[in-house]
Amino acid sequence: MESNGSASRRRVRKLRCSVMNYDWGRIGTESGVARLFSLNSRVDIEGGKPYAEFWMGTHESGPSFVVEKSENNGVVIGEEEEITAGGLSLKSWIAKNPSVLGDKVVEKWGANLPFLFKVLSVAKALSIQAHPDKQLAGTLHKLRPDVFKDDNHKPEMALALTDFEALCGFISLEELKTVVRNVPEVAEVVGNLYANQVLDVNNQDGEEKVKAVLQLIFTQLMSASKDVIAKALSKLKSRLHMASQVRQLTDKEQLVLQLEKQYPADIGVLAAFLFNYVKLNPGEALYLGANELHAYLRGECIECMATSDNVVRAGLTPKDRDVHVLCSMLTYKQGFPEILQGVPLNPYTRRYLPPFDEFEVDRCILPQGASAVFPAAPGASIFVVMEGAGTMHTTSYEGIIREGDVLFAPADTDVKVTTSSNLHIYRAGVNSRFFEAS
């Protein structure tokens, strides 16, 4: 029989989570992140403030805290919550109770949650960026711990809540040749020598040769002086304005003009021609491995990643840039990225399985009067209620859940959710393929 202390450790816990007010976030009540944070923490939304990211997990940059609860015969009612300014961080609580993660998780990653769960509200483009692999992250953290906060890699996945747009990875070689021919400003900035190398190389030359040429032209472009960039963008704007009088601009051309308004005289505007322009519908997901270049543009999404906050930036940002590091670390993989549609688990739930051990995400959209079961997993899970209200049932917990609630479920916890209204709930957990493989 399980002791009272052990049973208490095994029950579901509500969390109070952190918000990030980066300047690219949506403003005030327009931000889904703002509404979520306000409901979760009972803090009023500030009207003119950007609300960019809502963090759920154990990273020190945006920690979550365990909410104290009153109990009734060991069952948490869920209504009598005490939200305090301090409290025990989820990381500290897990360190004291590592068994809640599951044995295989502790064996692989130690007494820390291996994933970080987020909600993003994007009003304008994030920086052109990539996240270092494990080896590079360790080196950068040692050299510049003030900038690179941890030594972990950061593969990630974005699951669209609304229509969502991003730049992701490099376009194909044929598309790149079209850019060099048809966007004279790019050819002018990189110079004829590099432009001609792109036009002369072919896929028959081999993948490594093509990658080397792509790296050369991208590095040359990103290393251009501010004066050269400013002149090129001025020419680009004039040319596209004239073109718009006689034809419909392409989606990419319209995008670069929008980016130029957000980040005037920024090389990232010109560089956007080299990247895939991805548009996700709600319920579609995009995953990004280490050292893969991307920039989120607009919309709201659920995001999950390995527990890290390492970012190397090189454009579309007022922040510090590491052009040399970024250009040297990228995979230079070309072609349109895979879009995940999710695998149906039941009529209401789809699972998104990226090729990373650290995480998977379930999306559950319950209509009025429906119920869904999340079977016990060998690792811990975090649930976030994005819309509506319902009841969560486990062997040691029965409580009302509603929009803004975030809950930590220990390993081996069967969770059932019922609802009398529409309910949107998302779950992050360790990738189930990790347990199958091990």
Query: According to the 3-state scheme, what is the secondary structure of 48-108?
Result: CCEECEEEECCCCCCCCEECEEEEECCEEEEEEEECCCCCCEHHHHHHHCHHHHCHHHHHH
Question: Residue 227 contacts by C-beta under 8 Å, 6 or more apart in sequence?
Answer: none
Average pLDDT over residues 108-115: 94
What whole-number distance in Å separates Cα of residue 130 and Cα of residue 136? 12
The pLDDT-based confidence of 82 (bands split at 50, 70, 90) is very low
Average pLDDT over residues 156-172: 96
For residue 266, CA distances in Å to 56, 313, 349 come to: 32, 13, 42
Greater pLDDT, 203 or 107: 107
Tokens of 198: 């792109």
The pLDDT-based confidence of 72 (bands split at 50, 70, 90) is very low
The pLDDT value given to residue 271? 94
The pLDDT value given to residue 313? 82
The pLDDT-based confidence of 260 (bands split at 50, 70, 90) is very high
The pLDDT value given to residue 3? 44
What whole-number distance in Å separates Cα of residue 89 and Cα of residue 259? 39
User: How buried is residue 96: exposed, middle or buried, by Cβ count under 10 Å (0-12/13-18/19+)?
Assistant: exposed
* Kind of pairing between the strands at 397-402 and 381-394: antiparallel
Tokens of 86: 């301090």
What whole-number distance in Å separates Cα of residue 365 and Cα of residue 417? 11
> What's the predicted TM-score (pTM) here?
0.91
The pLDDT-based confidence of 84 (bands split at 50, 70, 90) is very low
Give binding residues for Zn(2+) as ranges.
129, 131, 156, 294
Q: What are the tens digits of pLDDT across the range 186-230?
A: 999 999 988 999 999 888 888 899 999 999 999 999 999 999 999
Query: To 5 degrees, how large is the angle CA 54–CA 56–CA 61?
Result: 80
Q: Which residues carry out catalysis?
A: 313
What whole-number distance in Å separates Cα of residue 54 and Cα of residue 34? 8
Count the neighbouring beta carbons within 10 Å of the beta carbon of residue 3: 8
The pLDDT value given to residue 438? 64
Tokens of 335: 């072609």
Domains and CATH numbers, the chain: 16-67+86-124+342-437 (2.60.120.10), 164-340 (1.10.441.10)
Which phi and psi angles does 429 have, rounded to 5°? -150, 175
**Adjacent-strand bridge partners of 408:** 13, 382
Given a cut of 90, whether residue 241 has pLDDT beyond it is yes
Which phi and psi angles does 190 have, rounded to 5°? -85, -20
Give binding residues as ranges.
129, 131, 156, 294
Query: According to the 3-state scheme, what is the secondary structure of 167-211?
Result: EEEECCHHHHHHHHHHCHHHHHHHCHHHHHHHHHCCHHHCHHHHH
Count the neighbouring beta carbons within 10 Å of the beta carbon of residue 225: 10
The pLDDT value given to residue 302? 98
Q: What is the DSSP letter of 125?
A: P
E strand or H helix at 197, and its extent? helix 192-200
